[in-house]
Structure 1
Amino acid sequence: MRTVGVEEELLLVDPDSGEPRALAAAVLASAERESSEDREVFEAELQREQLEFATVPQESMDDLADEIGRRRAEAAHHAERLGAAVAALATSPLPVTPSLWGGERYGWMAEEFGLTTQEQLTCGCHVHVAVESDEEGVAVLDRIRPWLPVLVAISANSPFWQGKDSGYSSYRSRVWARWPSAGPVELFGSAERYHEQVEAMVGTGALHDQGMIYFDARLSHRYPTVEIRVADVCLDPGTTVLVATLVRGLVETAAREWREGLPPVAHGVGLLRLAAWRASRSGLEERLIHPITMRPEPAADVVRALLDHVGDALKGTGDADRAADAVAALHADGNGARFQRELLHRTGSLRDVVAACVRRTAGR
């Protein structure tokens, strides 16, 4: 069974005002003092209002769910010691002027990309799935491309930007798309072609290093995995587990298609960008672009198409019923974007939205 690991970026906020707080360094120091593990669980991100954690590779989704809950609780514990809280919010609902983390790499990015770097306070969820080789990994990347916007819609959790409703369900994905290497890519066809493209892009001097290859999905340059990077950090930990389950299903399905000699769907990058835009705009509330036909259909039908597409893979890992139940609950209760908007409609207060999201982050 393929292992799955998750990286979640969390927002550090003031528990009273709901405003982001630049406390990442202090939280990391607290975590380091108390940690008994032989690896760094928590890491800094681009802005000092962010905190990232990474799970270990897991085969069982129950184990993954347990670890995500535990890591979120640990992050909350360390933040509380400093008078702060953590919220799984992909953008801050309240206005903020982000504080860039120090160091040569981030300093270079600030100098090179200007306002794009300064404004980039966004929190995502990255899912790593094990692959046997770079060749298998690139075959997977070629075949999962049209399905990735559906994950954007499922995870959408960033309707607000600088104190205003953005009009999007996932505005984070629109902000992230400002990076020149971000977004969907063409078909590669082979690992050799993939690595040639990465080397050529870094060779332009416009990117600091391979870590700035911000494709929607890429080969990890640190682990033997493919890394799917399109999702917002999910408000509910159960949605994170659903996204991880669907991602593993997509990877396994694509690998089987490759072994069977089935070619990838050859949609152009222009169509994939439109599908990604529609997913970020609509979330699960309206229509999405169907990954095969590239025509608009009700969001529930498109999500069902994704479940059908990965159905055999989910049955093989014993995750089919769990995924179907999670999707049904998501349609009934809504994703993070819907929760935030409905709460603002009831209370009229973005501060109350943040407070409620702090509680939901912890599974309450």
Structure 2
Amino acid sequence: MSAAARPLLGVEEEFHVVDLTTRRAAPEAEVLLGELDGAEFARELQRSLVETNTPVCATLDELGGHLRRLRRKLESVAEPQGLGIVAAGTVPLVDLTGDDISAGARYEKMQHEYQMLVREQHICGAQVHVDVPDRDTAVQVVRRVAPSLPLLLALSASSPYWRGHDTGYASYRSMVWSRWPTAGPPAMVETGAEYDAMVDQLIASGTISDPGMLYFDIRPSAHVPTVELRVCDACTEVDDVVLIAGLFRALVCRARAGIDAGDPLPTQGQELIRAASWRAARSGLEGDLVDLTGPTLVSPPLLIGRLVQELRPWLEELGDWDTVVDLSQATLLRGSSAARQRRMFGRRGELVDVVDALIAGTQGRPLALDPPVEAPHTSALLVGYEPTGFDEAVSATGSLPEYGWLVRALDRLGPRGMTAARSALETEQRARGVTFGPDDGTGGRLFPLDLVPRIIDADDWQGLTGGLAQRVRALELFLRDVYGERAIVRDGIVPATVVENAPGRTRQGEIVPGDVVRIAVAGIDLVRDAPDHWLVLEDNLRVPSGIGYSIMSRRLIRSVMSDLEPPAGVVGLEDVPGRLRAALLSATDSGSPGADEVALLSAGPSDSAFFEHRLLADQMGVPVVTPRDLQVTDDGVFLVSEGGKRRLSALYRRMDEVELMTARGADMRPVGRQLAAAVSRGRVALLNALGNGVADDKLVYAYVPAMIRYYLDEEPLLDSVRTYPCVDAEARAEVLDRLGELVLKPVDGYGGQGIVIGPHAERSELTEVEKAIRTEPAAWVAQDLVALSTHPTFTGRRLEPRAVDLRAFVFQSQWHGSPHLDVVPAALSRVAPPGSLIVNSSRGGGAKDTWILR
């Protein structure tokens, strides 16, 4: 696009004037305007607000330069007067006196006509203008751009605080603004003449007094030949203004291309666009937003990433592609201004800190702050909180420093607020079908989710990452070895009976090609018994569940607890499905037909984790299939549907191997063995591989440290729980002598089934397990009892300590002939029921959102 053809743009920004001593809004704009050039600076309705107007710009770099220049000029005039300048939708500390309206007949008439609406207008927005050739084009562009406005609002959200309180919204400015009779989505007109007739009717009705009072979220400008974006909060960061301007200009260009092509107008009505805007105001970038094509709720990074990709042709033509990509990624990484303000408030619980951060951020300066001095915080929610061992968040004197901000935030909610949040959480779960357990016709059991997030700091996570990757590397080598040369058995490291009698060893594991990655997804369960000590409790290498529940837990907690913002950034989960899909595709032959055709293989609604299957498949953009959907021929594996057949290159296995072997395919013939044969011939990749169970039972677990030393020549980075194989006579004798002290586990148990915790067991239970061990010692192991850490869990009235573990996930890919390991941040904290140490969902356990800090 030539410079002459590139649409020009400009920005109007509104700013709060605050007293630097009190940090409250100050009605002193006239003092500043007396020293400023009237062409670029103007008064606003309230005397505590001031407006800047950039010159018309051709490039985003030029626009950013003018925005920074005008902000610097404002500050240079304000600071000597003891005043500060804030770019945000609202300023936290403000009084609605009604005496601070700017002089002028128009403003005085508005005050008389609209009363409290005018008093409330201590709010600031950012307006972007993009030029268009005529009025008819402007009206058509407005209609075509309107469905994208909620995303731009979410990007700008900067007004969580109103009159000294957290509103629960990311953009409360838009809630205040929406009270005007002509605010909201644009009118459903199609021509300039229809638009002007509507304006005349509104003026004649006495609702507005002039065209400038049409406050639609997007409108043809009342004064210049532009389309004007009005939906956004004032943005603290200049980069956010530039990003929004770049996206808006590309949206205008796309709309004009649609007009030229004769494309129909969007079909979304005002009601749905208004609902999507409300969700954006509520959530900002920290909760789900409405995808209007569904409609459905989708995480902001996915929606914004998709919008940027859709606009790529116009962004490239404008020369804005690289700038918009870089700015969008940076904005998503740091989160909304609303979230940053809440993090600042969480340091000490002082709104003056928020105002100071806004003043500094408006000029692009970091705010130099001493680390907050955290004293233990005593909370009403912690009355009677008595952990018996190591608690990750609470000590004998109150909350630990890293959790002080969180407990203060929960205290502000109090039991009633948390009860309401839990009710809202359950409503959200029902609406989204977040269940765990087979669908019995009632919709399934809600996945138990606690309101209080668990925090894992960056140093802890870095240590876990190395240990988890090491463990999965060794287990992968073990699987290849035991289904091949069995060198580890030959060399006496693992007894032959351990491998031969392993309940997960199958014939199908023997026919998997030797060079494929067998563990595409590992779920490793860890526990913590001290502040600096983690242990691996269990390996899950068959069909580990939890990734989808981790992703959904984050989205749900953010949606109902939007005012909980951690003191540092939380690693996002939005890219995890993409990383999983990449791991699956790495197992396919990129040069073969259908190499990118992947499906998730599920038993269907009867599977307890079917919700997760559907979620992950949807997020990866692949279908969910059952064996009944598959046909296996000499040419490969095909998905059979009403639309015909298509060849699949890979199947992400999420169903039990035994069930798969007995399942019937699309032709009603047994499909399991045919599928295994197709795997052996390289016709399809099946991930996780068949036969993986030989490496993850309770007995094999005891030999994993030895595997690490044998295959990797390294010392284990993560400890294991001391395990006693009852098949060994000496170990069995010790176990039988210490039944009341140990944890007894069946080798082939899963989901916590069959576990007997000696110190908590009845005498009759111990007698039964003693009999079972003596009868079939190879079927049992024992472990030392580990004192699991506890974490605050909301019980309906207060917080109580509950035992927790952590299921971490490792993806393994095949790149250039060698495995690549990816420890993803979608870790799931599982919570035991009261008085229990067993966290499995099938045994009544629940889960927590896990915040891994950058």
Name the CA distance, whole Å, in 2 between partners of 1:230 and 1:186: 14
Name the SS of the counterpart of 1:184 in structure 2: coil
**Range that drifts further, 296-305 or 238-247:** 296-305
| Equivalence map 1:69-84=2 (5 Å) | 69-84=68-83
Q: Deviations over 1:40-94 (max 9, x none)?
A: 1100001000000000110111010000000000011111132211011211111
**Range that drifts further, 140-149 or 180-189:** 180-189
**Range that drifts further, 265-274 or 44-53:** 265-274
Conservation of the 8 A alpha-carbon contact between 1:9 and 1:53: yes
By how many angstroms is 1:308 displaced?
2.3
By how many angstroms is 1:208 displaced?
1.6
Hey, which of these two has a bigger chunk of strand by percent? 2
| Equivalence map 1:17-96=2 (5 Å) | 17-31=22-36, 35=37, 40-96=39-95
Conservation of the 8 A alpha-carbon contact between 1:89 and 1:157: yes
User: Which amino acid is 1:267 matched to?
Assistant: Q
By how many angstroms is 1:189 displaced?
1.5
User: Which amino acid is 1:45 matched to?
Assistant: E
Q: How many residues align?
A: 358
| Equivalence map 1:329-340=2 (5 Å) | 329-340=330-341
With normalisation by structure 2, the TM-score equals 0.41
| Equivalence map 1:1-364=2 (5 Å) | 1-31=6-36, 35=37, 40-97=39-96, 99-364=100-365
Name the CA distance, whole Å, in 2 between partners of 1:338 and 1:164: 15
User: Which amino acid is 2:227 matched to?
Assistant: V
**Range that drifts further, 281-290 or 185-194:** 185-194
By how many angstroms is 1:267 displaced?
1.1
By how many angstroms is 1:293 displaced?
2.5
With normalisation by structure 1, the TM-score equals 0.96
By how many angstroms is 1:166 displaced?
0.5
Q: Deviations over 1:248-293 (max 9, x none)?
A: 0111110111111111212111111101100000001111001333
Name the CA distance, whole Å, in 1 between partners of 2:133 and 2:91: 38
Name the CA distance, whole Å, in 2 between partners of 1:84 and 1:166: 26
Name the SS of the counterpart of 1:251 in structure 2: helix
Name the CA distance, whole Å, in 2 between partners of 1:267 and 1:55: 33
**Range that drifts further, 149-158 or 342-351:** 342-351
User: Which amino acid is 2:56 matched to?
Assistant: P
Name the SS of the counterpart of 2:81 in structure 1: coil
Name the CA distance, whole Å, in 2 between partners of 1:95 and 1:261: 49
Conservation of the 8 A alpha-carbon contact between 2:156 and 2:240: yes
Name the CA distance, whole Å, in 2 between partners of 1:103 and 1:290: 43
By how many angstroms is 1:6 displaced?
0.2
Conservation of the 8 A alpha-carbon contact between 1:186 and 1:268: no
Q: What percent identity do the matched residue pairs reach? A: 37
Where does structure 2 lack aligned partners over 5 or more consecutive residues? 1-5, 366-854
- Report the RMSD for the aligned CA atoms in angstroms: 1.1
Name the CA distance, whole Å, in 1 between partners of 2:57 and 2:358: 27
By how many angstroms is 1:146 displaced?
0.6
Q: Deviations over 1:108-150 (max 9, x none)?
A: 1111111111111100000000001111111101100110010
**Range that drifts further, 124-133 or 88-97:** 88-97
Instruction: Tell me which stretches of 4 or more aligned residues in structure 1 moved more than 4 Å.
Output: none
Q: Deviations over 1:188-230 (max 9, x none)?
A: 1211111111111111112121110111111111111010100
Name the CA distance, whole Å, in 2 between partners of 1:82 and 1:246: 37
Looking at CA atoms only, which structure, 1 or 2, has the larger radius of gyration?
2
By how many angstroms is 1:154 displaced?
0.3
Conservation of the 8 A alpha-carbon contact between 2:21 and 2:82: no
By how many angstroms is 1:347 displaced?
2.6
Conservation of the 8 A alpha-carbon contact between 2:138 and 2:220: yes
Q: Deviations over 1:301-343 (max 9, x none)?
A: 1112221232211111111121111111111111211110010
By how many angstroms is 1:97 displaced?
2.5
Between 1 and 2, higher relative CO (CA 8 Å, sep ≥ 6) is seen in 1
Hey, which of these two has a bigger chunk of helix by percent? 1
Name the SS of the counterpart of 2:34 in structure 1: helix
Name the CA distance, whole Å, in 2 between partners of 1:151 and 1:282: 13
Where does structure 1 lack aligned partners over 5 or more consecutive residues? none
Name the CA distance, whole Å, in 1 between partners of 2:30 and 2:222: 25
User: Which amino acid is 1:46 matched to?
Assistant: L
User: Which amino acid is 2:23 matched to?
Assistant: G
Conservation of the 8 A alpha-carbon contact between 2:286 and 2:336: no
Conservation of the 8 A alpha-carbon contact between 1:89 and 1:234: yes
Conservation of the 8 A alpha-carbon contact between 1:187 and 1:266: no
Conservation of the 8 A alpha-carbon contact between 2:157 and 2:170: yes
